[in-house]
Amino acid sequence: MRQSMFIARLRGYVRLELRGRGGEAMINEMLATGLSAWDIQPMQDERLRLCVPVGEFFELKPLLKRTGCRMHVLERRGLPFFLDKLGRRKLFFAGGAGFLLGMFLLSSLVWQVSVEGNERIAQADVMRAAEQLGIHRFQWKFKLPQTEELAHGIQAALPQAAWVGVEVRGTHVHIKVVEATIPQKPELMNPRNLVASKNALVTEIMAEKGRPLVQPNAYVRKGDVLISGKIGDEENYQVVVASGKVKGIVWYTSQIEVPLTQTFKTYTGESKERSYLVFGSRALQVTGYGKLAFEQHETLTERKTLSWLGYTLPVGWMHEKLMEVRQVEQPVELAQARQSGLEQARSRLLAAAGPESRIAGEKILHEKSENGKVYMKVHFEVEETISEEQPIVVQGE
């Protein structure tokens, strides 16, 4: 009687080949004794193929002797044989289970702690407060308290913080700090004069407080009083904090040196690639061994990390592409070199003079070209702020 294939696969069955003249007699005796057989296929050379349940396989031996047949097993199918194969591959499945366990353990550790939003509060202070609550690298995440409790604990240790938030992103603990706004104390200002910081020709003077002592187009030396903090005469006066804006023309002489060749970088098209396995902050090179065939190069780096169940794991890979570069020299026209040198000198002067400065005039005093360079001596006139503070010392204080 033919069994259901589902039940047969569940119990397991064997596909056999009977060889000999007694094959048909063997089948008849099997059916007469209540043994099961199905998919009976007559073959050439007095052979028969059939399927029998694995539980009845060993009951065939007496029938084989009586009929003079020989038996050959072709296939073993069903759940018992599948489980047997699994048993023979214990090391393979143990390795797979160990890998999954290792990934789970790695994803259960804290691998990175970062702080954001702190400007006045030192990062070391934030990290110290976090470490006291158990937030540090290689800490088990399940040992950490709730994020609200961590945030309150860190904020309690940092009086300068108005709010602290803690977020766990996979293996990364992110701490965000909002610093408390501290009102600035008004600057204590003592009575003072505004005096010239440099020798200059005054072009503009605007006194907000105090008494101006110079006029535009007046030449002043360093230390001359521009806006006095004394109001009144010698006997009856009042001291104030002089304030205002004074601008003037200041003279500079710059020595400029510009090469007549320009060096720039170009790619040759030659490159080499390297690959690394990354474990945390360490990298293990996998490909791209050997010395470089070129000396000068630039490196482009691409790094990727693995994620599992929404967790960022400290495992990944890194790819580097090293591209050969060469330095190429190109001659520069004399006029272009001269213009480049003047622009650099102007930029340096204006950066040193302040944001409200400007070049009022310039004149090349001397120029020569030798040894592949152009040398210039240039006189500049720069209009800039020329005032600085000078405290007033009142007699008797």
Q: Verify that 248 and 336 share a domain, yes or no.
A: yes
pLDDT at 171: 84
Q: Verify that 143 and 239 share a domain, yes or no.
A: no
pLDDT in tens, 136-178: 888 888 888 898 999 999 989 998 888 999 998 888 899 999 9
- Does 102 fall in a domain? no
DSSP annotation of 291: -
- Does 374 fall in a domain? yes
Low-confidence ranges of the chain (pLDDT < 70): 1-3, 86-90, 184-189, 309-311, 394-397
Q: Verify that 317 and 212 share a domain, yes or no.
A: no
Helix axes 90-107, 79-88, angle to 10 degrees: 70
- Does 211 fall in a domain? yes
pLDDT at 15: 87
- Does 89 fall in a domain? no
The answer to whether the pTM exceeds 0.85 is: no
Q: Verify that 201 and 243 share a domain, yes or no.
A: yes
Q: Within 13 Å of residue 34, how many CA atoms lie on the same side as its CB?
A: 1
pLDDT at 3: 47
Q: Which residues contact 319 (CB under 8 A, 6 or more apart)?
A: 273, 274, 275, 276, 301, 302, 303
- Does 360 fall in a domain? yes
Query: Could you give the strand order of the β-sheet that contains 161-169, starting from the edge strand earlier in sequence?
Result: 112-116, 172-179, 161-169
Q: Verify that 248 and 138 share a domain, yes or no.
A: no
Bridge partners of 173, per DSSP, are: 113, 168
Q: Verify that 346 and 240 share a domain, yes or no.
A: yes
Q: Verify that 355 and 250 share a domain, yes or no.
A: yes
Q: Verify that 373 and 309 share a domain, yes or no.
A: no
pLDDT at 204: 95
Give the end of a domain, one of 179, 207, 239.
179
Give the end of a domain, one of 179, 211, 235.
179
Structure tokens at 377: 């001596």
pLDDT at 78: 82
Quote the domain boundaries for residue 280: 264-329
Give the end of a domain, one of 128, 146, 179.
179
Q: Verify that 175 and 293 share a domain, yes or no.
A: no
Q: Verify that 77 and 9 share a domain, yes or no.
A: yes
Bridge partners of 225, per DSSP, are: 195
Number of domains in the chain: 4
- Does 95 fall in a domain? no
pLDDT at 185: 60
- Does 148 fall in a domain? yes
Q: Verify that 169 and 287 share a domain, yes or no.
A: no
DSSP annotation of 42: E
Q: What is the CATH number of the domain that holds 53?
A: 3.30.70.260
Q: Verify that 56 and 9 share a domain, yes or no.
A: yes
Distance between CA atoms of 195 and 210, rounded to whole angstroms?
12
